[in-house]
């Protein structure tokens, strides 16, 4: 059983995954980084050179691979739950935590992250805050359908978010007699 983190960009998935890994002693993966490693280029380059469908195909392969491995902390890309097969792999592979934040907070976090612009393409012609609002409106029902729990990251440190997830995870493990 895995801990799978979903949510829009800049909601803290990678940072929280790293913290959970330290706490549990489990390996962790940022699926976007794994996609870039396999492709040998950035997500922005994949989109520009091969198109979004090629990226989503590679993403589905990586989601299926890691969700089938027990005992991982998985930080999924923001669009990973869009495909039904990815949602199914996530639900079968572990417990899914949806990290949320307001569009304004996401935008602020994205604009202060120096790697976002170089590695991640705009997904609509609008870009910026308008894009975040538009995509969140489309993705929220999908995130909600996929998630076992919703974790609000507003005004919380990554450590506080990780601790909240660990409490929920511990309760699930205790109820089912599971061990990491």
**DSSP conformation letters of 24-73:** HT--EEEHHHHHHHHHTS-HHHHHHHH-HHHHHHHHHHHHHHHHTSSS-E
With tokens 């998630």, the residue in question is: 147
Looking at residue 121, its pLDDT comes to: 55
Q: Is pLDDT of 125 > 50?
A: no
Q: Which helix (H) or strand (E) holds 84?
A: helix 84-93
What confidence tens digit (pLDDT) does each residue in 14-25 have?
A: 999 999 999 999
Looking at residue 176, its pLDDT comes to: 54
Q: What percentage of the chain has pLDDT greater than the value 70? A: 87
Looking at residue 179, its pLDDT comes to: 43
Nearest to residue 95, comparing CAs of 25, 180, 9, 14? 180
Instruction: Identify whether the C-beta of residue 145 lies closer than 8 Å to the C-beta of residue 87.
Output: yes
Non-local CB neighbours of 56 within 8 Å, separated by 6+ positions: 79, 82, 83
Tokens linked to 36:
């870039």
Q: What is each CA distance from 69 to 42, 49, 57, 118, 162, in whole angstroms?
A: 25, 30, 19, 30, 21
Q: Cα(9)–Cα(143) distance, rounded to whole angstroms?
A: 13
Could you give the 3-state DSSP secondary structure of residue 97? Answer: strand
Q: What is each CA distance from 64 to 13, 33, 69, 114, 169, in whole angstroms?
A: 18, 15, 9, 30, 22
Higher-scoring residue by pLDDT: 177, 163 = 163
Lowest mean per-residue pLDDT among 42-46, 79-83, 89-93, 149-153:
42-46
Q: Is pLDDT of 103 > 60?
A: yes
Q: Is pLDDT of 106 > 60?
A: yes
Q: How buried is 177 (Cβ within 10 angstroms: 0-12 exposed, 13-18 middle, 19+ buried)? A: exposed
């Amino acid at each position: 059983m895995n801990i799978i983190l979903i949510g829009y960009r800049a909601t803290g998935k990678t940072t929280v995954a790293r913290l959970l890994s330290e706490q549990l002693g489990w390996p962790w993966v940022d699926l976007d980084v794994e996609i870039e490693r396999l492709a040998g280029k950035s997500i922005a380059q994949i989109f520009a050179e091969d198109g979004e469908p090629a990226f989503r195909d590679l993403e589905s392969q990586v989601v299926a691979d890691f969700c089938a491995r027990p005992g991982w902390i998985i930080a999924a890309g923001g669009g990973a739950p869009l495909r039904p097969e990815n949602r199914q792999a996530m639900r079968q592979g572990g417990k899914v935590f949806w990290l949320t934040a307001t569009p304004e907070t996401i935008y602020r976090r994205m604009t202060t992250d120096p790697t976002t612009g170089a590695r991640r393409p705009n997904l609509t012609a609008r870009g910026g805050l308008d894009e975040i609002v538009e995509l969140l409106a489309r993705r929220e029902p999908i995130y909600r359908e996929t998630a076992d729990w919703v974790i609000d990251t507003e005004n919380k440190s990554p450590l506080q978010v990780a601790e909240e997830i660990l409490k929920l995870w511990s309760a699930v493990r205790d109820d089912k007699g599971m061990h990491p």
